[in-house]
Structure 1
């Protein structure tokens, strides 16, 4: 019996195209609440900013949840989608000093008819839906280009 990892199934048919807009969701290993700790959450926020500085991404919005990340961005010209995601995940794990991420991630390339702002609203509303805060302004680990 051969074993196939779910992560390899996630990569089947994955398409990486510069200047496409992607919604990425990636979770922590064992869904552990690493990002409940302020320093870990800020480390991930800085890793996303660094990706933008390296022109790997142009972030439209993100929200760091206690056990996962939602990130909406335009992929830059210099790195593939998987390289960009792996850069952010490995950088944040290295700075936190531990292997915090589950292998793989879910990606969705936005179609032309999809509203970027509607997807962004859905992403940044995650802390409200999860009951972490009653007002988005009270949640510190998100950002959106429209602010």
Structure 2
């Protein structure tokens, strides 16, 4: 029996559907704190907003941490895997261009969790945007520059 690596294991049983709510997490390669550089973090933010503006997703909340990104979305078009491939690819190109490098930005794979519509989306959004406070990067969420949520 072949051994599966984590990237493959994450894909087993994955199913996405338009209108579904998903909590998505992707981590930088080797957990490098790339987004300690605010300008590089904004390049990821631009890609999240671009997907929202194009109608691919309805962004509910997101935060870009130094070494990972959480994104709560309602899927409109495309599958979760197509969405994540697009975001990771486009943000990698932008970050590599800006930092004059050509290395891998993101780890292979990503984490996703489908939320039921009856779950408290505001609680999930609060959990996401409080990441910088839990990580002691800010004392108030308003002090951290790389986040947004549709209710705040």
TM norm. shorter chain > 0.5: yes
What stretches of structure 1 move > 3 A for 4+ residues in a row? Answer: none
**Distance (whole Å) between structure 2 residues aligned to residue 124 and residue 50 of structure 1:** 20
Q: How many residues align?
A: 146
| Range with bigger deviation, 64-73 or 48-57 | 48-57
**Distance (whole Å) between structure 2 residues aligned to residue 90 and residue 52 of structure 1:** 16
Aligned residue in 2 for 1:87: 86
Matched, 1:135 2:134: no
Map Cα deviations across residues 34-71 of structure 1 (whole Å, 9 max, x no partner): 11111110000000011112221110010000000000
The correspondence for 1:117, drawn from 122, 134, 137, is 122
**Distance (whole Å) between structure 2 residues aligned to residue 81 and residue 31 of structure 1:** 22
Q: TM-score, normalised by structure 2?
A: 0.92
How large is the RMSD of aligned CA atoms in angstroms?
1.1
Aligned residue in 2 for 1:56: 56
**Cα offset, 1:111, TM superposition:** 1.2
Unaligned runs of 5+ in 2: 97-101
Map Cα deviations across residues 92-136 of structure 1 (whole Å, 9 max, x no partner): 100111420001111011013310000000000000001111111
